[in-house]
Amino acid sequence: MLSFVIANTLSSLPFLFAIAFATGTICYFMAGLHPGLSHYIFFVINLFGCITVVESLMMAIASVVPNFLMGIVTGAGVLVSLLRPSSFKIRCTLN
Protein backbone atom coordinates (compact mmCIF):
# COMPACT_ATOMS: atom_id res chain seq x y z
CA MET A 1 0.00 0.00 0.00
CA LEU A 2 2.81 2.42 0.84
CA SER A 3 4.60 1.63 -2.41
CA PHE A 4 1.39 2.40 -4.35
CA VAL A 5 1.00 5.78 -2.68
CA ILE A 6 4.65 6.71 -3.25
CA ALA A 7 4.64 5.52 -6.87
CA ASN A 8 1.41 7.32 -7.68
CA THR A 9 2.61 10.52 -6.03
CA LEU A 10 5.92 10.46 -7.90
CA SER A 11 4.26 9.67 -11.21
CA SER A 12 1.79 12.53 -10.84
CA LEU A 13 4.41 15.20 -9.98
CA PRO A 14 5.01 16.36 -13.59
CA PHE A 15 1.27 16.76 -14.17
CA LEU A 16 0.82 18.57 -10.86
CA PHE A 17 3.63 20.94 -11.81
CA ALA A 18 2.03 21.57 -15.19
CA ILE A 19 -1.29 22.35 -13.48
CA ALA A 20 0.41 24.63 -10.95
CA PHE A 21 2.38 26.41 -13.68
CA ALA A 22 -0.64 26.96 -15.93
CA THR A 23 -3.06 28.10 -13.24
CA GLY A 24 -0.35 30.04 -11.39
CA THR A 25 0.59 31.94 -14.54
CA ILE A 26 -3.01 32.81 -15.33
CA CYS A 27 -3.86 33.87 -11.76
CA TYR A 28 -0.61 35.73 -11.12
CA PHE A 29 -0.74 37.96 -14.16
CA MET A 30 -4.52 38.31 -14.24
CA ALA A 31 -4.57 39.58 -10.66
CA GLY A 32 -1.62 41.88 -11.32
CA LEU A 33 0.45 40.69 -8.38
CA HIS A 34 3.90 42.07 -7.52
CA PRO A 35 6.10 42.20 -10.63
CA GLY A 36 9.32 40.26 -10.59
CA LEU A 37 10.48 36.80 -11.52
CA SER A 38 11.33 35.72 -7.98
CA HIS A 39 7.82 36.56 -6.73
CA TYR A 40 6.26 34.68 -9.64
CA ILE A 41 8.44 31.60 -9.07
CA PHE A 42 7.63 31.64 -5.35
CA PHE A 43 3.91 31.83 -6.17
CA VAL A 44 4.09 28.87 -8.58
CA ILE A 45 6.21 26.76 -6.20
CA ASN A 46 3.83 27.53 -3.33
CA LEU A 47 0.84 26.55 -5.46
CA PHE A 48 2.64 23.36 -6.52
CA GLY A 49 3.33 22.48 -2.89
CA CYS A 50 -0.29 23.02 -1.88
CA ILE A 51 -1.62 20.92 -4.74
CA THR A 52 0.92 18.16 -4.02
CA VAL A 53 0.01 18.01 -0.33
CA VAL A 54 -3.71 17.71 -1.07
CA GLU A 55 -3.15 15.14 -3.82
CA SER A 56 -0.86 13.01 -1.64
CA LEU A 57 -3.22 13.22 1.33
CA MET A 58 -6.20 12.12 -0.74
CA MET A 59 -4.15 9.29 -2.26
CA ALA A 60 -3.14 8.06 1.19
CA ILE A 61 -6.75 8.19 2.38
CA ALA A 62 -7.98 6.46 -0.78
CA SER A 63 -5.60 3.57 -0.18
CA VAL A 64 -6.97 3.04 3.34
CA VAL A 65 -10.72 3.65 2.87
CA PRO A 66 -12.33 1.02 0.59
CA ASN A 67 -15.52 2.94 -0.28
CA PHE A 68 -15.31 5.85 -2.76
CA LEU A 69 -17.87 8.07 -1.04
CA MET A 70 -16.44 7.42 2.42
CA GLY A 71 -13.00 8.26 1.04
CA ILE A 72 -14.20 11.63 -0.18
CA VAL A 73 -15.94 12.35 3.13
CA THR A 74 -12.91 11.27 5.14
CA GLY A 75 -10.56 13.32 2.94
CA ALA A 76 -12.72 16.41 3.28
CA GLY A 77 -12.84 15.92 7.04
CA VAL A 78 -9.07 15.64 7.27
CA LEU A 79 -8.58 18.73 5.10
CA VAL A 80 -11.03 20.71 7.23
CA SER A 81 -9.21 19.61 10.37
CA LEU A 82 -5.96 20.85 8.81
CA LEU A 83 -7.50 24.20 7.88
CA ARG A 84 -9.11 24.92 11.25
CA PRO A 85 -5.89 25.67 13.20
CA SER A 86 -4.80 28.11 10.51
CA SER A 87 -7.87 30.30 11.26
CA PHE A 88 -9.44 29.69 7.86
CA LYS A 89 -12.98 30.52 8.81
CA ILE A 90 -15.74 32.90 7.87
CA ARG A 91 -16.04 35.87 10.16
CA CYS A 92 -19.40 37.52 10.41
CA THR A 93 -19.11 41.29 10.46
CA LEU A 94 -22.45 43.02 10.70
CA ASN A 95 -22.32 46.79 10.63
pLDDT of 25 higher than 70 = yes
The model carries a pTM of 0.77
Cβ-defined contacts of 1-9 (< 8 Å, 24+):
1/63, 1/64, 4/63, 5/56, 5/59, 5/60, 5/63, 8/59, 9/52, 9/55, 9/56, 9/59
State pLDDT tens for residues 32-78. Answer: 888 889 999 999 999 999 999 898 888 888 888 888 889 889 989 98
What pLDDT, on a 0 to 100 scale, did the predictor assign at position 14? Answer: 94
- Residue positions counted in the chain: 95
